[in-house]
Each structure stands twice: as structure tokens, then as C-alpha cells.
Chain A
């Protein structure tokens, strides 16, 4: 009797898929679909492109499943594929960036009222909800504006919960470099979201 697929490791699931069990692949897809989609979405900054790329990533896994030799973790392999597709996509799109260079950037100094000004006169509960929504947008924007090398590390660590060592394997740089990039990313985010510092403290 075969074990419950959901209890298997990724690598075992892929081996089962290679042995003809499509259900094993379904479990893998379920495990990674959201992570990969968000990794791609924040990398390419376009939902439609992200959907296409996510599909491409998993189709590539289907096509090349036998090329996975188990020398690395499945997630390392999967993210390497996703990252490469994102890089290819960004090269293609380089000449037609949808975001105009002279468009006003969000989150810069001097733009709009301060958080304190926005807080004044509002009822706290409604305010928290509004701030939370606004914060989500600002964070997404700040993440998308990170330099590529910082953003990919940030997304893999923060969103996909990958250990630094594994991220280093995907990106192909030493672990210390990954940590430096992560630190820069966090520092940049903190600067970009300085207005929300008090809110962040409440989150803790």
C-alpha cells in the first residue's frame, strides 16, 4: 500500500510522479503554487505575466521531472526554474517597461500627508483597517522596488520561508552574500515604510 502522498517529502513525490502517479504531482503543485506565484508576481510586477510564468514553471517541472537527480532539494530546483524564467521575462520586457520612469513614485519623502495627519480625526478601528490595507499596498510596492538581487532573496526567505543556505544554492552566491542582500532589503523596506513604524510595533 502506498503511503499518503501528503506525508511524503517533495523528492519522493517527484519520484512517484516519474513512476506514473499524477496524484503525486498534484500534491507538489498544491504545496508550492502559492509560494511560486507570489515569488513570480513580486518579481515581474504583473499579475497576468505572473500567471503565465507560474504555469510555465510547473509545466517545465512536468516536462523535465526526470532531469531532477535528487542532488539538491526539490524546492531548490523549482525555485531555480522559477528564477530563470523570471530573469528571461525581465530581459524580454526590459525595453517596454510598463512603469514610466517619470511616473510619481510611491512612498517617497514629501508625498502626501504624514501618517499622523492621516490618523487625526479618524476612529481607531476603521483607521487600523485602512492603514492595514494601505500598508499592504505600500509593502508590495516597496518590495517590487527593491533591486532584483535583494528582492529575490527577500521573497525566498520571507515569503517562501527558505533557509539562507538553500537560497544561496538557488541564487548561486555564498550564504553570507545572501544574508547581506537580505539585510539590505530589510533596511530598505524599513526606510520605505518608516511612516508605519508605530503600526509595526503594534503588530509585534
Chain B
């Protein structure tokens, strides 16, 4: 067990939430490692003090009132009908609940304000041109879209346009895509826009070319209209839709699309993540530039949205068995098992989107097992083949650490300079740089004479 793993288990150990070999292993590490031992001792001391927190007894009189209410309840509904009249009572209960809820707000200023707002909106709608209120032949709608050549309908009544949005790579937020020269498909989910010409407009060149697919998770976020705008075929597998943003190799760089997990909506992307599916690399690996200082997306979610040299819909469904086993081994610190399984994933051409993560954890397994020389080529392969990998900054730090451990200080320095462009790892990279610098200086400096050392020590 290494220090990081041990540190994560200190509280479990303190409160007895781990047992057996795991607890023994953690205890053994705490005994042997001064740093972890100190941390544990501090937590233990605080825990011991905390046991002195007084726990006063609540008054028994409270129990009497609570129990009276409990008895009243079971007394009041001893033979509650479970089937026959359940619907009636539930309905009555629903209405009673609504009335109670309304009663609670009856005189509230919020209700007054809301009522006024509703009245204002209703009066505004009522004063719209008279023909909008005329019932149509179908009688189904109150407001009918205008025919061509007539005054356009009020914007408030026109069916909403599709959300023509894209993601700003700098901010990770949605923005209008109108400056990119091409409206997305103009259809909305389940209905067409009233303007015939627009409804029949061809899909945008990007969509037709198949190179540009709008962000699947964002389509999930914005609802079905965005999905339609993204022109994602309904029969595209969920996993492929989750990994949508495949971009043309030219014209766009490989700047990751999102910076923040918080911007990712639930949906197919999350499902894909749950199954371990990962899409990697928005552009062809050889053509993709190094990630700009913009932070790559965190691995946990965003590498799902990249595909390696292929569109998401073409990506084969990878076999997740070996990957899952490998990750399980890795989490259990069984690095030999992890290396065996993850090597299979990396070697299997059908692994596709799982490769980056597998490669990263393969490298980590080597490193955690103390085999930095074996880890180095794996890290190098990862960063070379998948420059837009979500956890690339962390991988750079780890690779730099391996370089340092095997004595390749110059390479470590280069890698740290590259890593420090990423905000998330910049402080750690800078600290490591100082360390590497010190080591380089120490290596270059001639060995001091013994008498000089003594005189310095004497001072």
C-alpha cells in the first residue's frame, strides 16, 4: 500500500469501516510510514477528544407527545382500505394537500406578485391581434402561425427556434453558433417550424459532411430540440451519441470542449461513462496539435466525447470485460493483475475508446508497482497518441515523476514545463520543477571538498 492509498483509508481505519487484510495492510503502513503515522495519530487524537462531546438526554415529555401522535394515527386508520377505495382517498388527500399548500401561501406576498404577473401576461395576450384568438378550423389551437407575406407572428407566440448552440472552448459554456456560418438543422422535435422555407432548408454542410457533430451531452442538456439541431440520427447508438464531438481533422484544433464537469448533463454521456466507454481524440492523432493551455476535460466525463480518428457513430462497441477487470485490479492495488488485463485492452484493436484510459492506468500500474522504466513508454505512448486525453496533465506529471526517478532529469523538466501550462496541475508542476532544478544543480556541481563541508556545517 502506498501513502496515497493509505491516506484515503485513514478515516475508514479510524472508524472501523475497513476490516480484514485491507485494515491490516493500512495499519502496517501506518506503523512503517512516519508521515502516514503522524497523520493517523493526529486524527486519532481528535477522535479521542471528540468522544468527550456530551450527549444530553432529551426530555421524556417529548416522547409522550410523539407517541400520542403515533397512537392517534394508528387508531385513526386501523382499517385503511388498501385497494377498493384507495383511489378516492388518494384523490381526496391530493386535493386536501393542495388546499393546505395554497392555504399556507394564501396571504403571502409571493402569491400576490405571481397573481399580478399572471394577470399582466394574460391581459397582454388578450390584446394581441384579434385574428390570433380566432379558433381555427381544426379548433385545436388558439394561435395559428401566419401565412407567408403577412405580418410575422409575435415572437412570444412563434414556436421556439432550435437551440443553435455550440460550446465555447474557452469558457466551457454554451454560446450561439450563428457566427460559424450555418444554421443547424431547423427542425424541432416532433414538429416543424412554421416557415416552410426554413423547415425545408437543407441540413448544414457540417452536418451533411458528417465531420461535425454537435455535442451529444449538450443536446441532452438542452433537450430534444438541441438533439435535432445536432442532426444526430435516432439510430445512432447511445454510446456513440455520448461521444459526439468528432470534428474534422482540419479547421479546428483539438482544444477540449469542456472544462467543467458541472456542465455535463445527465444522459447518454453519463450512461456511457457508467459502462466505461470512452471516446478519445477529436482529430487524427498525428494531426492534432498539443492541447492548448486550455485545460483538457477531466477524464471522468470528457474523454467520453472524443473519438480517435473516427466518428462516434462508426466506433465499434468495445469489449469492456478486460477493461473492467483491469480497473478493478488497479483499484485493489493488484498491479500485476491490472497490467495483465489492461495490456489486453491496449493490444485489442476493438478496444477503441477504452485505450486511452487503459493505457493511462497501465502506466500508473507500472509506476505504482515501482517499475518506472516500464511506465515511461506507456505514458509516452498515451501522450503521443492521445494528446487531447482528458487526464493528460496528470499523466504528464506522472511521466515527469518517472523520468526523474529513472534519472532523466532533462526529460522530466521538459515534461513539467509542458504540464505547468494546465491550471489544474500548474502548482504541482512548479513544485516538481523546483525539485528537478535542485537535482540538476546538485548533479552539475562538483563534489565539495570535505573541509568546506565542515566549515559550512560549523557556521
B121 within 8 Å of A by Cβ?
no
Q: List residues 45-94 of chain A with CB under 8 A from any CB of chain B.
A: 47, 50-51, 54-55, 58-59, 62-63, 65
Tell me the nearest residue of chain B to A58, going by C-beta.
B66
Instruction: Indicate if the CB atoms of B54 and A140 lie closer than 8 Å.
Output: yes
Q: A55-B62, A189-B49, A200-B49 are in contact. List 5 more A-B contacts (CB 8 A).
A: A29-B67, A37-B58, A62-B69, A139-B53, A186-B43
Q: List residues 61-75 of chain B with CB under 8 A from any CB of chain A.
A: 62-63, 65-67, 69-71, 73-75
| Residue from A63, A135, A201 in contact with B52 in the complex, judged by beta carbons closer than 8 Å | A135
B47 within 8 Å of A by Cβ?
yes
- List 21 A–B pairs whose Cβ atoms lie within 8 Å, in order of A's numbering: A26-B67, A34-B58, A37-B57, A37-B58, A41-B56, A55-B62, A58-B66, A59-B66, A62-B73, A140-B53, A158-B53, A159-B55, A164-B12, A179-B8, A186-B46, A187-B46, A189-B49, A197-B45, A200-B49, A203-B48, A204-B48
**Quick one: given A33-B58, A55-B62, A200-B45, are A139 and B50 in contact (CB under 8 Å)?**
yes
Instruction: Indicate if the CB atoms of B44 and A204 lie closer than 8 Å.
Output: yes
A10-45 vs B, Cβ < 8 Å mask (1 yes, 0 no): 000000010011100110010001100110011000
In the docked arrangement, what's the CA distance between A169 and B56, Å? Answer: 26
Residues of B within 8 A of A158 (CB): 47, 50-51, 53
B17 within 8 Å of A by Cβ?
yes
A174 to chain B, nearest CB (A): 11
A-binding residues in B (CB < 8 A) = 8, 10-12, 15, 17, 42-59, 62-63, 65-67, 69-71, 73-75, 77-78
Residues of A within 8 A of B8 (CB): 176, 179
Residues of B within 8 A of A154 (CB): 50
B428 to chain A, nearest CB (A): 18
Residues of A within 8 A of B48 (CB): 200-201, 203-204
Instruction: Indicate if the CB atoms of B65 and A55 lie closer than 8 Å.
Output: yes
A153-188 vs B, Cβ < 8 Å mask (1 yes, 0 no): 010011100011000000000001001001100110
Tell me the nearest residue of chain B to A183, going by C-beta.
B11
In the docked arrangement, what's the CA distance between A183 and B8, Å? Answer: 10
Tell me the nearest residue of chain B to A186, going by C-beta.
B46
A66 to chain B, nearest CB (A): 9
In the docked arrangement, what's the CA distance between A140 and B51, Å? Answer: 11
Tell me the nearest residue of chain A to B70, going by C-beta.
A25
Instruction: Indicate if the CB atoms of A139 and B65 lie closer than 8 Å.
Output: no
| Residue from B10, B45, B69 in contact with A190 in the complex, judged by beta carbons closer than 8 Å | B45
In the docked arrangement, what's the CA distance between A58 and B62, Å? Answer: 10
Instruction: Indicate if the CB atoms of A55 and B66 lie closer than 8 Å.
Output: yes
In the docked arrangement, what's the CA distance between A38 and B45, Å? Answer: 22
Instruction: Indicate if the CB atoms of B74 and A21 lie closer than 8 Å.
Output: yes
Residues of A within 8 A of B77 (CB): 20
Residues of A within 8 A of B51 (CB): 158, 203
Instruction: Indicate if the CB atoms of B49 and A190 lie closer than 8 Å.
Output: yes
Tell me the nearest residue of chain B to A39, going by C-beta.
B55
Residues of B within 8 A of A164 (CB): 11-12, 15, 17
